[in-house]
Structure 1
Amino acid sequence: MSTQPKRTLRLGLIATTVAVVLVSAACGGTTRGSEDDANPAGDRATGQADPDAPLAEGLDVAFLPKQVNNPYFTVADGGGKSATEEFKGRYKEVGPSEAGASSQVSYINTLSQQQTDVIATSANDPNAICGALNSARQAGAKVVTFDSDTKPECRDVFVNQATAEGIAANQVELIAAQIGGEGKIAILSATPNATNQNAWIELMRAELAKPEHSRIELVAVAYGNDEDQKSFQETQGLLRSYPDLKGIVSPTTVGVAAAARYLSGSEHKGKVALTGLGTPNQMREFVKDGTVEVFALWNPADLGYLAAYAGAALASGRITGAEGEKFTAGRLGEYTIGADGVIVLGPPTVFDQGNIDQFDF
């Protein structure tokens, strides 16, 4: 797409934004007036969408993961690249090497200055990048969060792996079955501020409070910061602090692989159960050597793929992010936007010795 049509499209989007901001409307249960600048790209409830609009070609699509060179995000962003190539856009990945709370801000600012059409990001912190994202939206970018959300007013849509309730219930069910429904367990998380991790942990606590899990005690939550060596050391520390620990839940791909590596070479192999969210390629050897019985995950490539198509639909005017809107995401088919602009990929897949060789990611 040439520079002039792209700038014309941006001017039209900005004009629509101004008109929308002048209208007082409700969004996500909060009433926003014309002087509320927390939602500079306009209110989802009053935006005009054309579901029959063609997908624009030549869109600049940038993926900003929590950290680059993280195996999970390498796969997820690869799915975004595949989708972008399908709708003839221009793809790139940028991001920090460490998953700090504010480490993504400078990248967002640069993408905004470059007039990026779609920014797809997994937030390290729900608040730290909000100002930068809203500035990017004011400049014309459409913002899609995936994997880990910001506050709803800081993006256009959020592509969720699965419902938080479903993930929490799944993780508790998997660990409970392995430890016979009783004993001490710990959680090995990613960063302390990760939106998705904290939501899952709170919901796991709620699951564990149910009568059927009354004999399971959550004794600690450790944070490996999505770093392999720190996660390895945190696993070691948990087992030293709690020698009678029966199980560990690690709902992060870096953490669960590091924990599995520690357990596989320790006296705790086969005695301490481990489950979590991991990729089949990371976990295959640990499933086959008996360190891990079962774990779960959605397909991260599909997550990135869906995020890219959602961004393209937003940038093309097919959707605004309002509840009930529908769009087609390539080979994944049709999706419907839920409350607060949330799009759910689907339920997680459970992996074990019987099916792990059927997957390659």
Structure 2
Amino acid sequence: MFGPNPKRRAGTAVALALGIALLATGCGNDSSDSGGGGGDGGDANLAITFLPKNLGNPYFDTSNAGGAEAIEEFGGSYEEVGPTEASPTSQVSFIQTAAQQGVGALVVSANDPEAICDALDEARSADVKVVTFDSDTNPECRDLFINQASAEGIAKVQVDLIAEQIGGSGQIAILSASANATNQNAWIEMMEAELEASHPDIELVEVVYGDDDDQTSFDKTAALLQTYPELKGIVSPTTVGIAAAARYLSTSEHKGTVALTGLGTPNQMREYVKDGTVTAFALWNPADLGYLAAFAAQALVTGEITGEEGDTFEAGRLGSYEVGADAAVLLGDPFVFNAENIDDFDF
């Protein structure tokens, strides 16, 4: 089981409460504002815009609250913009507008690895620093990627959980987000490899896509159970998907007989863990992910780092981080939530 880094979890509850409160009171200033920062960038443009896959997504509400908290700490200005639906090209106009407004940095969770690259290249040519988080673009389209955990670690923890829950054999399915989601596809590929290498008695019968939409994911869950009457488990590596699947299972005849795991937030999944629909699931802390992404953006804007491998920067309460290969920064290991610990978390 993966566990949290104690130093990186210090102050999380207070930080989350502060970040959410800042969002609720509209802490973000106009994107034309700028603030002082660290390094040699006292006059740096610290107007930072967060662009999630889509608005109204609880996962991104939490991650962006972490970003708002960090930006408040280092004296920048925060804004959140985004589409209502997570389609491949829906973020393009928001990138273009932010660049035209002269923001210092964009923090983006990409809906597609290629579809927004031209817009990001235009923004970077206008001296906008681009940090991706959660879901990456092609590496050449951004300055840094803040990765929630290693793809191998995320894949393995989900495979280990479903294998334990179904007794190591039987049919399973995967309920993913969109078919173009970079992170989802990387995890699924590695889950397939892990299943083949370590769990030959588990058969992955199908991967379906709920497009990070609650109703679509709910319907896909129902369809899976109808199509595969012998299905023993579902893995949903997306917070929207796992919550929708749990909602379906919780009132169906399959509750307690079809296992469900994946990546979810404690607040979404608490009722389903407590009523026995779900035994255990995993995730990193999305507020920490947004917090780290904001500090990375500050470090780029102020010139503290350039995004070269080996660069290091300070990220507030999370401590020091180093840039790895392909200009990527790793937040840490996933954490497993279950009935024994879920009430210790509030996000």
Q: TM-score, normalised by structure 1?
A: 0.85
1:237-256 to structure 2, matched below 5 A, reads 237-256=223-242
For the pair 1:359 / 2:312, whether they are aligned, the reply is no
Structure 1, unpaired ranges of 5+: 10-50
Contact 2:176 2:237 in 1 (8 A): yes
Give me the CA root mean square deviation: 1.8
> How far apart are the structure 2 equivalents of 1:53 and 1:172?
45
Contact 1:57 1:87 in 2 (8 A): no
- Percent identical pairs in the alignment equals 64
Secondary structure (helix, strand or coil) at the match of 2:94 reads: helix
> How far apart are the structure 2 equivalents of 1:264 and 1:324?
47
User: Given the superposition, is the C-alpha separation of residues 235 and 325 from structure 1 closer, same or farther in structure 2, using an over 3 Å criterion?
Assistant: same
Paired residue for 2:110? Answer: 123
Paired residue for 2:95? Answer: 108
Q: CA deviation at 1:53?
A: 2.9
Q: CA deviation at 1:156?
A: 0.3
Structure 2, unpaired ranges of 5+: 1-28
Contact 1:63 1:94 in 2 (8 A): yes
Paired residue for 1:314? Answer: 300
* 2:79 maps to which of 84, 89, 92: 92
User: Given the superposition, is the C-alpha separation of residues 231 and 357 from structure 1 closer, same or farther in structure 2, using an over 3 Å criterion?
Assistant: same
Contact 2:41 2:301 in 1 (8 A): no
Secondary structure (helix, strand or coil) at the match of 1:73 reads: helix
Larger Rg: 1
Contact 1:188 1:231 in 2 (8 A): yes
For the pair 1:178 / 2:162, whether they are aligned, the reply is no
For the pair 1:234 / 2:220, whether they are aligned, the reply is yes
For the pair 1:346 / 2:336, whether they are aligned, the reply is no
> How far apart are the structure 2 equivalents of 1:334 and 1:276?
29
Secondary structure (helix, strand or coil) at the match of 2:50 reads: strand
> How far apart are the structure 2 equivalents of 1:103 and 1:310?
25
Map Cα deviations across residues 258-297 of structure 1 (whole Å, 9 max, x no partner): 0000000000000000001000000000000000000000
Secondary structure (helix, strand or coil) at the match of 1:181 reads: coil
Paired residue for 1:24? Answer: none
Contact 2:45 2:301 in 1 (8 A): no
Paired residue for 1:261? Answer: 247
User: What letter matches 2:301 in structure 1?
Assistant: A
For the pair 1:303 / 2:276, whether they are aligned, the reply is no
> How far apart are the structure 1 equivalents of 2:33 and 2:247?
52
User: What letter matches 2:231 in structure 1?
Assistant: L
1:1-361 to structure 2, matched below 5 A, reads 52-53=39-40, 59-210=46-197, 212-361=198-347
User: Given the superposition, is the C-alpha separation of residues 115 and 323 from structure 1 closer, same or farther in structure 2, using an over 3 Å criterion?
Assistant: same
User: What letter matches 1:314 in structure 2?
Assistant: L
Secondary structure (helix, strand or coil) at the match of 1:260 reads: helix
> How far apart are the structure 2 equivalents of 1:73 and 1:132?
22
Contact 2:156 2:191 in 1 (8 A): yes
User: What letter matches 2:249 in structure 1?
Assistant: L
Q: CA deviation at 1:59?
A: 1.1
Paired residue for 1:36? Answer: none
Map Cα deviations across residues 48-76 of structure 1 (whole Å, 9 max, x no partner): xxx95356566110000000010000000
> How far apart are the structure 1 equivalents of 2:32 and 2:293?
26
Secondary structure (helix, strand or coil) at the match of 1:209 reads: helix
Contact 1:55 1:87 in 2 (8 A): no
Map Cα deviations across residues 144-166 of structure 1 (whole Å, 9 max, x no partner): 00000000000000000000011
Segment drifting more, 127-136 vs 52-61: 52-61
Segment drifting more, 71-80 vs 55-64: 55-64
Which runs of structure 1 show a deviation greater than 6 angstroms over 4 or more consecutive aligned residues?
3-6
User: Given the superposition, is the C-alpha separation of residues 73 and 218 from structure 1 closer, same or farther in structure 2, using an over 3 Å criterion?
Assistant: same
User: Given the superposition, is the C-alpha separation of residues 301 and 4 from structure 1 closer, same or farther in structure 2, using an over 3 Å criterion?
Assistant: closer
User: Given the superposition, is the C-alpha separation of residues 4 and 171 from structure 1 closer, same or farther in structure 2, using an over 3 Å criterion?
Assistant: closer
User: What letter matches 2:208 in structure 1?
Assistant: A
> How far apart are the structure 1 equivalents of 2:310 and 2:40?
17
> How far apart are the structure 1 equivalents of 2:53 and 2:42?
28
User: What letter matches 2:341 in structure 1?
Assistant: N
Contact 2:39 2:299 in 1 (8 A): no
> How far apart are the structure 2 equivalents of 1:231 and 1:4?
39
Secondary structure (helix, strand or coil) at the match of 2:48 reads: strand
User: Given the superposition, is the C-alpha separation of residues 241 and 56 from structure 1 closer, same or farther in structure 2, using an over 3 Å criterion?
Assistant: farther
Aligned pairs, how many? Answer: 316
